[in-house]
Amino acid sequence: MTFQQKFKIAILGSAIDESPKALELAESLGIKLAKYWDKVILLNGACPGMPDQVVNAAKKECNIEIWGYSSSISKKQQLEENPKVSLGKFNKIFYVPTSFEYYKNVN
């Protein structure tokens, strides 16, 4: 049996409110990426905005794997700073380690 490593695709971008057309395009991208659920892992910043719209649309289509790279140092801080982002969609979530020299400068 051969193991096929999945491609990791980072969905990065704005955390501001966007136009209805931009939101429609984000949803369309998520739906298209979902077709490759068995070949890709989606990555984003685990915060609200356009990247979250993309991964939400993909997750709605199928059980695609999603990893979040948070700017927070803990789940508690993540939930306080981004209460609108559901952590349930993430298969993995990574937080800034407190051993990182500039961890207090995040956000």
CA angle 3, 43, 12 (to 5 degrees): 145
Chain mean pLDDT for the chain: 91
15-60 residue pLDDT tens: 777 889 999 999 999 999 999 999 999 999 999 999 999 999 999 9
Q: What are the angstrom distances between the C-alpha of 96 and each of 6, 60, 70, 76, 104? A: 24, 28, 7, 13, 10
Question: Model pTM?
Answer: 0.88
Residue range 8-25, pLDDT digits in tens: 999 998 777 788 999 999
Sign of the CA dihedral running 15, 46, 36, 8: positive
pLDDT confidence band for 97 (50 / 70 / 90): confident
